[in-house]
Structure 1
Amino acid sequence: MRRWLTLLAAFLTAATMGVLAAPGAAHADANVVGGTRAAQGEFPFMVRLSMGCGGALYSPNLVLTAAHCVGRTGANSSITATLGVVDLNSSSRITRKSNYVYRAPGYTGSGKDWALIRLSSPVNGVATLPITTTTAYDSGTFTIAGWGAATEGGSQQRYLLKATVPFVSDATCNSRSMYNGEIIATDEICAGYTSGGVDTCQGDSGGPMFRRNASDAWVQVGIVSWGDGCARPNKPGVYTQVSYFASSIAAAATSLGG
């Protein structure tokens, strides 16, 4: 089952925990499968969104997330962003309400899975996560992180988990043993192990996949988008390929004042 098709169940589960679930999560319930707990301050740019998705702080007043996590482009004050902590219940957490959502033009549920959420006021003093503008970093080993489910069908998590996953080529990901041609090569990038066991999951949707660049700084290369189940063999995670949309994301960010 597609991870984002089990969104309603994830929302209800998260609601009972007092944590808003992940609308439109692209992996079966909400958390990094096979991960370990992140250290406080390790990934300061990580954002938890109240609809149950993840995101990354693109600029002090913008969060980059997935299009399937949000509704249409326009004014929106219903989303709460939580950041600055590993523990979502921490008293030192930072929160901001949204005031506008920009969803990728032409998004219809396949490809183009990115969106920007503008915050009501900037978050100063917290590191942002730059996006890659080149394909140079679209291979190798990536880091994933989120508050999604730690097992397929599991519950949303209180603590941020992290893991590493290897790049999977478009040809391999589109092979009959994996996604059999479902991957949009220009728009999407795959990452995961043939044997499964490590993956993002529903509730991690919209969160970043990132790696170190030539200057040893974090750079975002993917956005958690979808997958069949969580951490299944031959079913790697599918991520929005940020390098392909970098100029469109930057232009939208500029238009939003970010």
Structure 2
Amino acid sequence: MASSWLDFWNGSHRIYVNARHAQVHYAKIAADFIALIPSADAIVVHWGCGEALQALTVAAHCRCLVLCDAASAIRGRLTERFAASTEPDAAKIAVCSPEDLRTRYVGGIDLFVVNSVLQYLSLAELDQLLADVRALLAPGGSLVVADVIPRHDDLVSDVRNLLATAWAKGFFIAALFGLAATFFSRYRTLRNTVGLARHDEAEFLSGLRAAGFTAARLQPNMGFDQRRMAFRATLR
């Protein structure tokens, strides 16, 4: 049984209700990610990348795409997948841990994206992440933190958003069964015990500025859930 969010992501899970759900999710994230890339010569990081099903699509729009995830099981699958790929853009993709990232790309990152990850981080882990980003960003580089859960958000809102997306994208019945399965899943257990971090907009902006960034709310949010928040920050 997973006792932490990292344990959860390192194990087997069904966070997506079916393959169609995963495909739709990653395609939307890739499109939003590409819109943020400043140039075809940029070195970009996707921190907390997960399975990165559309990484080749993103890599086509930059010089190097660094996929960084704390879960060793995810890194192993990514490394194996891209090592076996014959796609030309696979050579642009690097896979690394947060620890390796701190030493490999100091002062060289043009865009650092953290999407739908903050809810799984403690305040100490968030502080460490911001310290890492300060050291990693190139002059003029930017940090984008997206899909941040507002303090007032709740599970009912998440369910409504999933069902609305499922209805629009053609996996509504699978979503209903997926929600039923989630009720008995490790995800729900961890959500009830460990919890998800939520943030107030003004407090989060203040925290970014205190950490040495110039920051502002970014709209739209990455992904389908526009109740959640996104922020862009640059080194001050």
Higher RCO (CA < 8 A, seq sep 6+)? 1
Structure ranking higher in helix proportion: 2
TM-score, normalised to structure 1, is 0.30
Q: Which of these two proteins has the greater Rg computed from alpha carbons?
A: 2
TM-score, length-normalised on structure 2? 0.32
